[in-house]
Homo-oligomer: A and B are copies of this chain.
Amino acid sequence: MSVVAVVGAGMMGSALAVALLDRGHSVRLVGTHLDSEIIDGLRASGRHKTLKLALPFAIRPYYERELEQALQDTELIALGVSSAGVRWACERLSDHVRPEVPIVMVAKGLAWDSKSLQILPDVFRDTLPISMRAAVEPVAIAGPCIAGELARRVPTSVVLTGRNPLTVNQVSAELAGPYYHVFPSSDPVGVEACAALKNAYAMGIAFGSGLHEKSGGQPGSVAMHNYEAAVFAQATFEMQQIVQILNGDPSSVVGLPGVGDLDVTCNGGRTGRFGHLLGLGVGLAEAIRRMSGATLECLEILEVLRSALPSLEEQGKLRPSSLPLLRHMIEVALDDAPVRVPFESFFSR
């Protein structure tokens, strides 16, 4: 039993807080500057605004201005912020990070530094003051986890990974609970690449349901599932290629971080809705408008990959004909090209 602070009171941070509480920890949930209304609601009634659920009262909510107090005597810090919040969190936390307090991240993404693709735990570490960098090795959670389900105690299986296996094993034991199954992984690069890529590929899989609706079809067991499944298969094939380019372990794709997370994201929500709209042919601007401000991680990762592709080709790590699905998704979701999945180019390196 430890004192744990979850920083970021959005859906995923708050769901993790429930799992940590049920694991027996003392849990403090700290809103960022974007989460004030959520903390208001938790303080007033215990109800979480976006999870649409009453959280257990034992989870103690804090406003961002109370961060120092919330972090006092903390034995584990969980970062519940999304990829966009990682640099903010790093700056805000840099005075409080201590080598003996492990940091767990739920953010998913990759960053391009004009030379190579970086995983977010490394970005976080490299943003810390130089004196701290050697001592802090953040670990990261990946795998199929819809926050609304974890918060409702649906059995959930995730992977925990990081560059220090001792920390990974220690934190895995601190997280794993009755319905939260945590599998340690020694492949941070492969796992984190999968976590980022699955958002892009889930968007592409959802093209099929949009095309089906466009052609006048009704949802059901005869729709365009053959189309979607072929894209799903190519997605896993390309994810293995990308993981290999980054010197990760392609076997991470055949498990929770790859196919597991891809599967859940197809069932999940906004990424699928966005891909559906693109398949429906409403156009990129209108599709973004209809998502009414929802964060679209698929666009973030596609932007990163568009920046990275030419350089990876120059470095000889990639052929111009490789990753045809990824390239098509970039055209559709960033350049507003019509959906025309190049099946005939699939399954070739």
Contacts A146-B222, A181-B343, A347-B183 known; A256 to B227 CB distance under 8 Å? no
Q: Determine if A112 is an interface residue (Cβ-Cβ < 8 Å).
A: no
| Cα–Cα, bound, A183→B237 (Å) | 14
Contact B226 A149 (CB under 8 A): yes
Set B154, B261, B347: member contacting A255, Cβ < 8 A: B347
Set B157, B224, B259, B267: member contacting A343, Cβ < 8 A: B157
| Cα–Cα, bound, A183→B344 (Å) | 9
Contacts A222-B149, A254-B240 known; A228 to B343 CB distance under 8 Å? no
Q: Determine if A274 is an interface residue (Cβ-Cβ < 8 Å).
A: no
| Cα–Cα, bound, A145→B224 (Å) | 10
Q: Determine if A328 is an interface residue (Cβ-Cβ < 8 Å).
A: no
Q: Determine if A253 is an interface residue (Cβ-Cβ < 8 Å).
A: yes
Contact B230 A259 (CB under 8 A): no
Contact A222 B152 (CB under 8 A): yes
Contact mask for chain A residues 235-269; partner B; CB cutoff 8 A; 1 contact, 0 none:
01100100000000000011110111101100111
Q: Determine if A150 is an interface residue (Cβ-Cβ < 8 Å).
A: yes
Q: List 28 A-B contacts (CB under 8 A).
A: A143-B233, A146-B226, A148-B222, A149-B224, A150-B226, A154-B226, A154-B227, A155-B227, A155-B230, A156-B227, A156-B230, A183-B346, A221-B267, A223-B267, A225-B267, A225-B268, A229-B261, A229-B263, A232-B260, A233-B255, A233-B256, A233-B258, A234-B255, A236-B254, A236-B255, A237-B255, A240-B254, A263-B263
Closest 3 CB pairs of A and B: A233-B260, A144-B229, A157-B230
